[in-house]
Chain A
Amino acid sequence: MSLAASDFSPLAASARSRAQAPRVSAVVSRSMAEDAGTPGRVVVVMAVFALLYGLIALRLIDLGMSDETSSSGYIGAQQAILAARPDLVDRNGELLATDIKAPSVYAEPRKIVDVDEAIDKLSSVLPELGSDAMRKRLESDAGFIWLKREITPLQREAIHRLGIPGIGFLTENRRFYPGGPTAGHIVGIANVDEQGIAGLEKYLDGQGIADLQHFGFATDQALKPVRLSMDLRVQHVVRDELSKAMERYKAIASVGIVLDVHTGEVMAMSSLPDYDPNDPGEALKPENLNRATAGVYEMGSVFKSFSIAMALDSGKVTLDSKYDATKPIRIGGFTIHDFHGTRRVLTVPEIFVHSSNIGTAKMTLDVGIDQQEKFFKRIGLLDKVDTELPEVAAPLLPRKWSEITAMTASYGHGISVSPMQTAVAGVALINGGMLIEPTFFPRTATEAAKGAKRVISKRVSDMMRYLFRLNAVEGSGRNARVAGYMVGGKTGTADKVVDGRYAHDRRRNSFLAAFPMDDPQYLVLVVLDEPKPEEGKYYATAGMNAAPTVSKIIARIAPMLGVVPHMSEDSDTTLVSY
């Protein structure tokens, strides 16, 4: 017997092969029964962990797939600085508006270590950044904020030297207007984000610049300069003469418009007081309103031109028709007087030259008030004038077209239109009878003719030229004459409405003129608001201030515009034939 004792101990059994185990399963201990379940329980736990980690991984992948919204402020900023606008130039290529590179300073508040230090240092260069509001913004957890847009290179350098962490610069395009206020009302304003907010800048946004910017195509290279119809030299002269006139006649505001009578192009348009588009805050002041298109006024006797053209075109009235102006008209409690009272029977040219309210009113009644309303409508005086400028006001019309309103409207009272509207209608009177929509962009006469609408016959237009010229030779427009340029025009002196009543000491004077009257090329309209009599003179009628201002403008711009003067004959006294 060589049986080892150890063979009987439980431990020794382990030495035996597992193959023996099944044979003895009958004696499996209790502990085995319990243990048999537990490795399975560990598998359950493993499954739970696999599930947990799997979910976390899925969540991570989900986050990875989500849009990288990054900090939206920065993206917006990137778009803003990428934006560019085309240069604006006048008809001769002179620069009116351009983009220049300007640094802008921004902060990433998350990266700023010490807000107090940052604010202290920043305000040493830009004191306006020292405010509590700015402190709050810097203490926020925003990813990106602008501190100041469009600073100067010197300021940039100074801030850079401060070495504040979390402060950086982006170079962006800034709009610059080299001409300053000269053409401010035409060109308008683009804001710091290069979006047009006024004038033609705003118009261009509507024409697709904004879309280009949005899609990122509005880069500096891609944009061709945009040419305007305006002539910067003419514009300068008009503005210069207006400001001189305002000083001389102590007027509070003025408007000057020069139109090409064949193309409807706006050669110049100035409204004083105006503003410098480089300082956009100025544009918001109410007195800096663009009066030429966004203001409507009673134009006064200038309207007699339209009334007489209407009467002549109706065929019921000829230049030889006569009207009794001996007595004022009394109607419905109103009395219509003549300012330059003649107290006799007047022919049509005499009515025009003497600016007879009575004569014009009677003539209008003669033709018919429906006829008058239709004509005013046809010549564009009853609707908003359609130009590229966004700043356009609609005319103020009489509520009901009655006899009395028709009579006052015939000499320009009780109806308010914009100066631009008056000028456009005036063009139709002298260019052969075609109403042309005005434009601020270049246009040829042929293009203009396509869109033009006949409003009076060529013959009536010729008569009107005769009347305008006549008025400048022997009427109220004598002061508008310029040697060699055959100026003709009509004055308008309208009492201003103050507190609902006509004030006789405050007036708005205008002069609607064109030159040369034998073959009109350009129309000039000047409006002076509340001019005072010059020293030593008693009157401040349009003939005393608006007419000479037109004369000065024409004397300077006619050579620029290439209008040939006729000095050989005594052109200033020769009447045109009709």
Chain B
Amino acid sequence: MASRVDRSAFSEWLWTVDHLLLAGFVALMLGGVVLSFAGSPPVAERLGLEPYFFVKRQALYLFPALAVMLGASMLTPRMVRRAALVIFALGLVALVLVLFTGVEVKGARRWIDILGFSIQPSEFIKPAFVILIAFLLSEAGKRPEVPGRLFSILLFVMVAALFIAQPDFGQTMLLLMVWAALFFMAGLSWVWIGALGLLGVASLGSAYMLLPHVTARINRFINPGSGDTYQVDTALEAIVQGGWLGRGPGEGTVKRILPDSHTDFIFAVAAEEFGIIMCIVLLSVFAFVVLRGLTHARREPDPFVRLATAGLMVMFGIQSAINMAVNLNMMPAKGMTLPFISYGGSSMLAVALAMGFVLALTRKRPRPSRTAPVVVRRVARVPIDPVK
């Protein structure tokens, strides 16, 4: 163990990083591999791959993911900002490219091939987006002459437009919620909050009225008899069958008929095999990580660091909460991955990057105290001993 006296970069990192938060992230990553044993073999079989194809892939992703997370956690807030800017710029280019060269899967262009890797740019642009918005809003707070709010609105419209073009309504909704949360935490006046809230309700209403598949999904949730609630019903049945302690690893049957058992419905599959108690443990880890990250943000005096940390944790938290709520039939079905747990390379790396940023931003560092500058009105009169 590095001594506190050791001032090398590693030991500095080791002593300043939040160990509990780090432990929480690593636990979720490892948990994801364990749960993929339950969720992914049936999917692999359906695709004609060997049963543990996705398990192996997920385990392999652990290494780059860990590297990205730890690497990002070593950055200083200033470097985080810069990294975010670079990633955002690259991401925007990729998002435009994906519209033209992307591979169409299930009617949406979300994937792009870069150097033989299939990458989902929207995943990577999310954390960068959060950090840039946090920067813009904090600057706007510091220097009123900077039109940070206007810029952040423009930024959001730009990214949201690219997301909708794919189309990817789930990610757009997530982006909107995180963006709104950032505005809220940046101290938006309640008048504006009210106005934006109305806008949100109106846009949800219009989505319900105008987009047929949104209409169908919400109708199905409100009135299960009105349509095909196959996935959600099956997920619920899986959880109930698992009971408190689960049926045991590999004993689940419902996963065989859930189409997205390794991604969107991994939580239900985990419940069937490992039991509701394990699910509550998993839920607790998510809750712990999110609340601890937000606690850091609350204590953080620097507006940028506070907003960036809180924004990233809100994104992580919303994603996990929506995924679990959908699995438990508490809200209309919405394709949303469970961070660190669901299968997917891009999602895994992007979440690792985002949480690396969080670790970087929540590191203990010698902070400039946020007390006001002291104006010295008088120079103390120091008695001058005459040198005699």
List residues of A whose CB falls within 8 A of some B CB: 1-3, 7-11, 13-14, 16, 18, 20-21, 24-25, 27-32, 34-35, 37-39, 41-46, 49-50, 52-53, 55-57, 59-61, 63-64, 66-71, 108, 110-111, 113, 141, 143
Q: Are B294 and A45 in contact (CB under 8 A)?
A: yes
B326 nearest CB across to chain A (Å): 11
A35 touches B280 (CB 8 A): no
Residue contact B243 to A68, C-beta cutoff 8 Å: yes
| A3 interface neighbour in B45, B310, B379, Cβ under 8 Å | B379
Q: Is the interface of A mostly helix, strand, loop or mixed?
A: helix
Which residue on chain B has the smallest CB distance to residue A66?
Answer: B240
> Are A24 and B372 neighbours in the complex by a CB distance under 8 Å?
yes
Q: A38 and B186: CB pair below 8 A?
A: yes
Check B287–A27 contact: CB distance below 8 A.
no
User: How far, in angstroms, from A55 to B324 measured CA to CA in the complex?
Assistant: 11
B371 and A53 within 8 A (CB): no
Contact status of A31 and B142, CB under 8 A, knowing A41-B185, A60-B279, A68-B240: yes
Q: Is the CB of B280 within 8 A of A57?
A: yes
Asked if A60 meets B306 with Cβ closer than 8 Å, knowing A10-B373, A28-B372, A110-B256, the reply is no
Query: Which one, B243, B284, B286, B290, contacts A64 given CB within 8 A?
Result: B243
CB contacts (< 8 Å) of A69 on chain B: these are 240
Residues of chain A contacted by B142 (CB below 8 angstroms): 31
Is the Cβ of B234 less than 8 Å from the Cβ of A49? no
- Partner-contacting stretch, out of B19-27, B69-77, B150-158, B296-304: B296-304
> Which of chain B's residues have a CB closer than 8 A to the CB of A59?
325, 328, 330
| 23 CB < 8 A contacts A-B | A3-B379, A7-B376, A10-B373, A20-B371, A21-B372, A24-B372, A24-B374, A27-B375, A35-B303, A38-B303, A41-B184, A41-B186, A42-B294, A42-B297, A52-B321, A52-B325, A53-B286, A60-B276, A60-B279, A64-B244, A68-B243, A111-B256, A143-B253
Query: A49-B287, A49-B317, A64-B276 in contact; A20/B374 too (CB < 8 A)?
Result: yes
Among the listed B144, B185, B379, which residue makes an inter-chain contact with A45, where contact means beta carbons less than 8 Å apart?
Answer: B185
B214 touches A (CB below 8 Å): no
Cα of A20 to Cα of B369 in the assembled complex, Å: 12
Most buried by B among A3, A9, A34, A108: A34
Give Cα A31 to B148, complex, Å: 14
Nearest Cβ in chain B — how far from A164, in angstroms? 15
B291: which of A7, A35, A46, A61 is its contact (CB, 8 Å)? Answer: A46
B204: Cβ under 8 A from any A Cβ: no
Complex contact B253–A38 (CB within 8 A): no
CB-CB under 8 A from B330, the residues of chain A are: 55-56, 59
Cα(A11)–Cα(B370), bound, Å: 9
Chain A hits for B298, CB < 8 A: 39, 42-43, 46
| A113 and B240 contacting across the interface, CB-CB below 8 Å | no
B-chain residues with CB within 8 Å of residue A41 when the two chains form the complex: 184-187
The interface residues of chain B lying within 8 Å CB-to-CB of A16 are: 371, 374
Name 15 extra pairs, CB < 8 A, besides A27-B372, A52-B321: A1-B382, A13-B369, A21-B371, A31-B142, A34-B187, A35-B141, A41-B186, A49-B314, A56-B321, A57-B280, A64-B276, A64-B277, A68-B241, A141-B234, A141-B257
- Residues of A near B301 (CB, < 8 A) are 35
- Cα–Cα distance between A50 and B317 once the two chains are bound (Å): 10
Q: Which residues on the B side are within 8 Å of A63 (C-beta)?
A: 236, 239-240, 271, 276, 328
- Indicate if B176 sits at the interface (CB-CB under 8 A): no
Q: How far is the CA of A541 from the CA of B347 in the complex (A)?
A: 97
The 8 A CB mask of B318-354 against A (1 = contact, 0 = none) is 0001001100101000000000000000000000000
A46 lies within 8 A of B295 (CB): yes
CA distance A67 to B236 in the complex (A): 13
The minimal Cβ–Cβ distance linking B369 to chain A, given in whole angstroms, is: 4
Q: What separation, in Å, do the CA atoms of A7 and B321 have in the docked complex?
A: 49
Interchain residue pairs A-B with the least CB separation, the first 9: A10-B373, A14-B369, A53-B287, A64-B276, A42-B298, A110-B253, A41-B185, A21-B371, A13-B374
Return the contact of A25 from the options B284, B325, B372 (Cβ within 8 A).
B372
CB contacts under 8 Å to A, within B211-237, are 234, 236
B254 within 8 A of A: yes
- Of the listed residues A24, A60, A70, the one surrounded by the most CB atoms of chain B closer than 10 A to its CB is A60
Report the bound CA distance from A63 to B297 in whole Å. Answer: 34
Within B185-202, the residues touching A (CB, 8 Å) are: 185-187
From A8, A13, A35, A45, contact of B314 by CB (8 A): A45
Residues of B within 8 A of A35 (CB): 141, 187, 301, 303, 370
Is B116 located at the chain interface by the 8 A CB criterion? no
Q: Does B59 make an interface contact (CB < 8 A)?
A: no
B103 interfacial contact with A, CB 8 Å: no
Contact across chains for A18 and B371 when beta carbons are under 8 A apart: yes
- Pair B371/A14 contact, Cβ less than 8 Å: yes
Contact A60 B328 (CB under 8 A): yes
> How many angstroms between the C-alpha atoms of A2 and B379 in the bound complex?
11
Asked if B174 is at the interface (CB within 8 A of a chain A CB), the reply is no
Are A29 and B368 within 8 A (Cβ)? no
Is the beta-carbon distance between A42 and B372 smaller than 8 angstroms? no
Using Cβ atoms and an 8 Å threshold, which residues of chain B touch A32?
A: 370, 372
In this complex, what residue of A is CB-closest to B282? A60
B276 → A minimal CB distance (Å): 4
Smallest beta-carbon distance A136→chain B, Å: 15
Please tell me if the beta carbons of B234 and A18 are within 8 angstroms of each other in the complex. Answer: no
By a CB distance below 8 angstroms, the chain B residues around A27 are 372-373, 375
Residues of B within 8 A of A1 (CB): 379, 382
Chain B nearest Cβ from A52, distance in angstroms: 5
Q: In this complex, what residue of B is CB-closest to A38?
A: B187
Given contacts A46-B295, A69-B240, A143-B253, contact A57 B283 (CB under 8 A): yes
A70/B303 contact (C-beta < 8 A), A31-B141, A50-B291 known: no
**At the interface, yes or no: B14 with Cβ under 8 Å from chain A?**
no
Check B321–A34 contact: CB distance below 8 A.
Answer: no
- Supposing A29-B372, A32-B372 touch, asked if A45 and B310 sit within 8 A by C-beta, the answer is yes
Q: How far is the CB of B53 from chain A (nearest CB, A)?
A: 16
Considering only CB atoms, which chain A residue lies closest to B369 in the complex? Answer: A14
Q: Does B181 contact A (CB under 8 A)?
A: yes
CA distance A21 to B374 in the complex (A): 8
Contact of A39 among B241, B283, B299 (CB under 8 A): B299
Q: How far is the CA of A111 from the CA of B257 in the complex (A)?
A: 9
Q: For the complex, what is the distance from the CA of A546 to the CA of B374, rounded to whole Å?
A: 132
Q: Could you say which residues of chain A place their CB within 8 Å of the CB of B234?
A: 141
In the complex, chain B residues 254-312 whose Cβ is within 8 Å of any chain A Cβ = 254, 256-257, 271, 276-277, 279-280, 283-284, 286-287, 290-291, 294-295, 297-299, 301, 303, 306-307, 310
Min CB gap A326→B, angstroms? 85
Q: Which residues of A contact B317 (CB under 8 A)?
A: 49, 52
Residue of B whose beta carbon sits closest to that of A113: B45
Residues of chain B within 8 A (CB-CB) of A28 are 372
With A13-B374, A21-B372 already in contact, the answer to whether A50 and B287 are too (CB < 8 A) is yes
- Bound together, the chains give a CA A61 to CA B376 distance in angstroms of 61
Residues of A within 8 A of B284 (CB): 57
CA distance A1 to B283 in the complex (A): 62
Q: Nearest chain-B residue to A46 (Cβ)?
A: B294
Interface string of B40-82 (1 = CB under 8 A from A): 0000010000000000000000000000000000000000000
Q: Which residues of B sit under 8 angstroms from A14, Cβ to Cβ?
A: 368-369, 371
B321 contact from A9, A29, A53, A71, Cβ within 8 A = A53
Closest CB-CB distance, A87 to chain B, in whole Å? 39
Q: How far is the CA of A56 from the CA of B329 in the complex (A)?
A: 10
Say which residue of A25, A30, A53 sits within 8 Å of B283 (CB atoms): A53
Query: In the assembly, what is the distance between CA of A24 and CA of B301, in Å?
Result: 19
Q: Enumerate chain A residues within 8 angstroms of B372, measured Cβ to Cβ.
A: 13, 21, 24-25, 27-29, 32
- Bound complex: CA of A294 vs CA of B384, how far in Å? 135
CB closest chain-A residue, reference B377:
A24
Instruction: Give min CB distance, B180 to chain A, whole Å.
Output: 11
Q: Which residue of B lies closest to A56 (CB)?
A: B324
